[in-house]
Each structure stands twice: as C-alpha cells, then as structure tokens.
Homo-oligomer: A and B are copies of this chain.
Amino acid sequence: MNARDEKEKMTVKNYKKYYIEIDCAIFNLQEDGLKVLVVKDIDDLGVTHWRLAHDWLKKDKTILETASGILKRCIGENSSYLEQVKAFGFTSSYSIKEDISIGYYALVRIISNDLEKHIAEGHTKWIGINETSCLNDKDTVILNYCIQEIRDSICKTAIGFNLLPEKFTLAQIIHLYKEILGIDIDKSNFRRKILATGLLSDLYEKEENVSHRAARFYKLSLQHQEILLNKELNFHF
C-alpha cells in the first residue's frame, strides 16, 4: 500500500475517527499504604461515580501535554514522575466502536493546596490500591495494569523515590517497597542491597524527637533526569 492509497483509504467510510481519552492513575504513598487519586463524577441520573483522573485529547496538545495537564490540574506544579503504560480499548454499550483510552501513571510526593481543597470539598479522594470497589471495570483494568508496571519498575529503576520526600530514612524506603510490592522485607538485607547500589547519599542528619534511636537521613545521589534513565537496580523479590 503506497501513500496515495493510504490517503484514499483515509477518506473512505470504514476508517473511523476517535476521541482519545487519557486516564491517569495518580499515586501517593501514605502511612497506611499506596493510594490512588479518584475524582467524583455525577451522571445524568444524579448517581455518583468515582473515576481515575482523565481528559480527552485536544487540538494543539500532545498526548504527553494532555497527561501533564491532568496531573497539574489535580495536584499542581511539581516534579512528579509521569509515564505512559499503554493504549486500552474498551467496548461499551453506547457505541459500536471501542472507546480508546491511553493509560498513564504518576508518582507524586507533594500535595498542593488546591488538591487539599478539592479533597475537603469532596470532589476528589485518595483510595487504597486494594480498595477499588468504587471504580468501574475500565478504570480497574487501567489501575491494575499501572500497579503491575510500577511493581516491575521499582525493582529495576529508581522511580520509586518519586514517592518519597527529598530526604528520607531507610525505613521509609522499606515502607515504599513493602507497600508497593505487598511483601515483607528484611531490614538488614535490604539495607545492604540498597546501599550497595551507590544510589543514596548520607546527609549526616538524623530524625529528631522520636522515642527510639533516631534514623539517618539520605537523599538520592542522582539528578532528576538521571532517575528516569537509571537502570542500576536489580532487586529480585
């Protein structure tokens, strides 16, 4: 098929144009586990639904810009990690065509005032990644795919640190891996592994006002752009 044929075919009725949705699973690590942001959606019948953050592709905006826009709208400007997972196709009862949605996930650490306001007003909430019964099938599929991607990635790259503050203790890293992978982690062995990567810089600072031995603070010894590319990790759980 040559370019001319292609152009002809594009004008033929059997090729279809699509609205493309971007669905973004926005994750935040909290004391009691990994959370995902859901936004309130009230349908024509007045019934409340909770959905992943989403938008549709606009003219003059790229896929990535649209995903960034969703993230910015929900949690404000910050240095979150944003990654596409794949395109999903969902058949619906409304149309013969599949609904096309491109799935993204974001790992965020900073919670903005705007977000806190939206949560206070009930427009938005964090739900545990295992308490997703409020979501529809489509969002559940996308969410679970994102979680699996994150599980794979945090064992190979340093992206998980996007869920931690700039300075953190080893216990916080262990919490991160434990909550995301859903497994128990041996403190001693994990410490050896993570320190052996050379990924961490000791800040020679300690926790204060804790009623037990104070933990050291570390920071990532990578620049932000390096975190994305870093493939130094090789954890096998």
Contacts and interface: CB of A to CB of B under 8 A. Distances in A.
A114 interface: no
Contact of A100 (B42, B63, B91): B63
Interface in A1-49: 1-4, 6, 9-10, 13-20, 39-44, 49
Nearest to A17: B17
What is the count of identical protomers in the complex? 2
B20 A20 contact: yes
Contact of A16 (B41, B49, B59): B59
A98 interface: yes
Interface residues of A, number: 43
A172 interface: no
Interface in A39-66: 39-44, 49, 56-60, 62-64
Nearest to A49: B3
A144 interface: no
Nearest to A64: B89
Given A87-B63, A87-B86, A89-B63, A20 B18 contact: yes
Nearest to A53: B1
Contacts of A17: 17-19
Given A2-B41, A20-B100, A56 B86 contact: no
